[in-house]
Copies of this chain bind each other. A is one copy, B any other.
Amino acid sequence: MIIVMKNGATEKQVTSVVSRVESLGYRAHLSQGEERTIIGVIGDDRPIDRGQFELLDGVEKCVPILRPFKLASRDMHPLDTILDIRGVKVGGPQIVIMAGPCAVESRSQILEIAHAVKEAGAHMLRGGAYKPRTSPYSFQGLGEEGLALLAEAREATGLPIVTEVMSPEKVDLVKSYADVLQIGARNIQNYALLHAVGEARHPVLLKRGMMSTIEELLMSAEYILSHGNNQVMLCERGIRTFEKYTRNTTDINAIPVLKQMSHLPVIIDPSHGTGKWEYVTPVARAGIAAGADGVIVEVHPRPEEAASDGAQSLKPEKFAQLVRQVKRIAEAIDRC
């Protein structure tokens, strides 16, 4: 951290800031500019609240130097983390494709889709049993019954299962069925939940919040990692901006930024990122071209009858096309 003193700060003010830095166990390094004095804080100052210093007399502002995350950072862990989910490797050379309905609606629906996405080339099956919905009047998911149907679909197809968990007390239950625990965008800063999945030591798909910075996404990953679980995948699923022609704005820049800063695998979700099925395939291609390790896509045989997210769901034949196109892009960047 660097503390910038105000233009005209007195020597006494500078001394007092230095004392405070030292009283917290750090060393202070003075640098006299023409208009401003600046004080470098030497040591790992991540745990300190910057705001504290901004209130000392004569201080103009404090500037952080260290990134606030550690375990999620490549500084601490230079090599790529590779997850192994029932034999599916995520984060290695292969592009991993996860697909399935927004919500599990019935036994026949999930089995039909599971077979269809497997045949088209998916490596994992997604589907929601607990659904976070903006309206209390909307369909909220089948709950444990949905989990059991997902498990049945896994038996039938061999595809590992990704499904969302929405509250700490359900973590054990969901873990008993699912191969990957999904943390949804709305729960990115639900710290009780992050704590619970951290302790679950089970693979996690962590979705970026619609208004989370990249740094906040990595800090939420840090919560999970710091509770002992290092099987975390990061998922870019679009952020909220002023643009309204699409449901969200896919932050494609986040893909190379995350790959550079972190060792964790990065997945792109073009279904939520765009909100309209017509744009899902081009944005899936883009995500892989930008360096993502996988893609998660909503598929439904009859989107116009889907209980939720129909507008952004691909029919199985469109999904098969997506798989073929994504594979060609993967080859063009020497992946598979």
Nearest neighbor of A307 in chain B, beta-carbon distance: B49
A163 within 8 A of B: no
**In the complex with contacts A31-B42, A135-B219, A308-B49 CB distance below 8 A:** yes
Which residues in B have their C-beta under 8 angstroms from that of A46?
135, 137
Q: Are B226 and A255 in contact (CB under 8 A)?
A: no
A157 within 8 A of B: no
A15 CB to closest chain B CB (Å) equals 15
Q: Are B32 and A42 in contact (CB under 8 A)?
A: yes
CA–CA, A87 to B198, complex, Å? 43
A317 within 8 A of B: no
Q: Are A44 and B35 in contact (CB under 8 A)?
A: yes
Q: Are B243 and A256 in contact (CB under 8 A)?
A: no
Interface hit among A91-99, A121-129, A182-190: A182-190
Query: Which residues of chain A in 101-124 are interfacial with respect to chain B, using CB atoms and an 8 Å cutoff?
Result: none
Q: Are A34 and B38 in contact (CB under 8 A)?
A: no
Which residues in B have their C-beta under 8 angstroms from that of A294?
none
Q: Which of B33, B135, B238 meets A68, CB within 8 Å?
A: B135
Interface hit among A144-152, A199-207, A283-291: A283-291
> Hey, which bits of chain A sit against chain B, CB under 8 A?
2, 4, 7, 20, 29, 31-36, 38, 40, 42-44, 46-47, 49-56, 63, 65-66, 68, 75, 132-138, 166-169, 186-187, 189-193, 209-211, 213-216, 219, 222-223, 226-227, 238-246, 249-257, 260, 273-274, 277-279, 282-283, 285-291, 303-312, 325, 328-329, 331-333
A161 CB to closest chain B CB (Å) equals 21
CA–CA, A308 to B31, complex, Å? 28
A133 CB to closest chain B CB (Å) equals 7
CA–CA, A331 to B273, complex, Å? 25
CA–CA, A34 to B65, complex, Å? 11
Per CB-CB distance, the 4 closest pairs between chain A and chain B, nearest first, are A211-B211, A51-B311, A167-B192, A289-B289
Which residues in B have their C-beta under 8 angstroms from that of A137?
46-47, 68, 226
**In the complex with contacts A65-B4, A189-B134, A332-B329, A257-B245 CB distance below 8 A:** yes
Q: Are A34 and B29 in contact (CB under 8 A)?
A: no
A173 CB to closest chain B CB (Å) equals 13
Q: Which of B166, B226, B303, B306 meets A192, CB within 8 Å?
A: B166
Q: Which of B34, B55, B136 meets A226, CB within 8 Å?
A: B136
A290 CB to closest chain B CB (Å) equals 4
Q: Which of B50, B63, B246, B304 meets A253, CB within 8 Å?
A: B246
Q: Which of B2, B49, B136, B310 meets A310, CB within 8 Å?
A: B49
Q: Are B52 and A65 in contact (CB under 8 A)?
A: no
Nearest neighbor of A43 in chain B, beta-carbon distance: B34
CA–CA, A31 to B21, complex, Å? 15
CA–CA, A32 to B287, complex, Å? 39
A95 CB to closest chain B CB (Å) equals 13
Q: Are B51 and A309 in contact (CB under 8 A)?
A: yes
Residue pairs across A and B with Cβ atoms less than 8 A apart, 29 shown, are A33-B43, A46-B137, A49-B306, A49-B308, A49-B309, A50-B311, A51-B310, A51-B311, A53-B304, A54-B310, A55-B277, A56-B304, A134-B216, A135-B222, A136-B219, A169-B169, A187-B189, A187-B190, A211-B242, A213-B242, A239-B242, A249-B249, A250-B252, A253-B283, A257-B279, A260-B279, A289-B289, A328-B333, A329-B329
